[in-house]
């Protein structure tokens, strides 16, 4: 990853921060954007934006981390709830991808990493909104992988299960909740940011140079075994 230009959206906490820290240790040039400033470029993906002046001319990697966890019974979701989740998880990614497309094409060997969820593969109650919008992300991943392959831009997504991030605090806020989550995963534990960031670095690196259009199910076995 040394001297590669990597753009990270949502790099101020959780998985995004872990990716940023690992990339810097590997010698990458990191261009981090976040809704909170925190010494980074400020960006709210739900608003109209122009980040062209803050992007490098050549982009070797792009990671889109913003997401939501909005869980409740289907009858309690409003159309506005669905729209908000879609705006952050899907449309925000679309806008960033369009903004970075020119720089990605200049790389000659670029990699894009998006994020889905285990709830797309496994039917989980109360996940109607997030599963729907992340399903759209998976469709986008495969479509762009096909469209951008001639430009040697790889597009893959990671579909994690519950991971210990600030976003998941409501689900892991007590010892009882943590123990219950551990028991739901065949490997006996929920995810850590480092689990996801390590896989992200693999997808960004030349080691995954023959992989595109894939959804990496990084979920402690939840999507495939009991």
Three-state secondary structure along 169-190? CCCCCCHHHHHHHHHHCCCCCC
- Going by pLDDT thresholds of 50, 70 and 90, the confidence category of residue 170 is confident
Its domain, for residue 68, covers: 5-216
55 belongs to a structural domain: yes
Is the pLDDT at 168 greater than 90, yes or no? no
pTM listed for this prediction: 0.96
221 belongs to a structural domain: no
- Which stretch of 6-15, 30-39, 154-163 has the lowest confidence by average pLDDT? 30-39
Rounded Cα–Cα distance for residues 45 and 89 (Å): 9
Domain with residue 53: its CATH number is 3.40.50.720
Is the pLDDT at 39 greater than 80, yes or no? no
Nearest alpha carbon to residue 144 among 123, 121, 176, 113: 113
209 belongs to a structural domain: yes
**Total structural domains within the chain:** 1
Radius of gyration of the chain (CA): 17
Q: Where are the alpha helices (DSSP H) in the chain?
A: 14-25, 79-86, 92-107, 118-121, 128-148, 175-184, 193-204
184-196 tens-digit pLDDT: 999 999 999 999 9
225 belongs to a structural domain: no
224 belongs to a structural domain: no
127 belongs to a structural domain: yes
Rounded Cα–Cα distance for residues 55 and 32 (Å): 10
Residue 75: partners with Cβ closer than 8 Å, 6 or more residues away: none
39 belongs to a structural domain: yes
């Amino acid at each position: 990853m040394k001297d590669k230009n990597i753009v990270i959206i949502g790099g101020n906490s959780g998985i995004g921060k872990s990716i940023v820290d690992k990339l810097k240790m590997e010698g990458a040039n990191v261009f981090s954007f976040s809704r909170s400033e925190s010494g980074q470029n400020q960006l709210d993906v739900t608003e109209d934006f122009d980040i062209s002046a803050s992007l490098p001319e050549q982009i070797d990697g792009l990671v889109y981390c913003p997401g939501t966890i909005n869980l409740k019974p289907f009858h309690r979701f409003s159309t506005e709830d669905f729209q908000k989740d879609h705006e952050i998880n899907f449309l925000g990614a679309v806008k960033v991808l369009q903004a970075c497309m020119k720089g990605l094409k200049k790389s000659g060997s670029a990699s894009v990493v998006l994020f889905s969820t285990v709830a797309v593969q496994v039917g989980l109650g109360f996940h109607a909104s997030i599963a729907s919008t992340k399903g759209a992300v998976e469709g986008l991943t495969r479509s762009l992988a096909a469209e951008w392959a001639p430009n040697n831009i790889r597009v893959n997504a990671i579909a994690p299960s519950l991971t210990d991030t600030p976003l998941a605090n409501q689900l892991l806020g007590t010892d009882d909740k943590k123990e219950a989550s551990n028991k739901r995963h065949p490997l006996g534990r929920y995810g850590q940011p480092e689990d996801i960031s390590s896989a992200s670095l693999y997808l960004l690196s030349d080691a995954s140079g023959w992989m595109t259009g894939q959804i990496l199910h990084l979920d402690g076995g939840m999507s495939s075994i009991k």
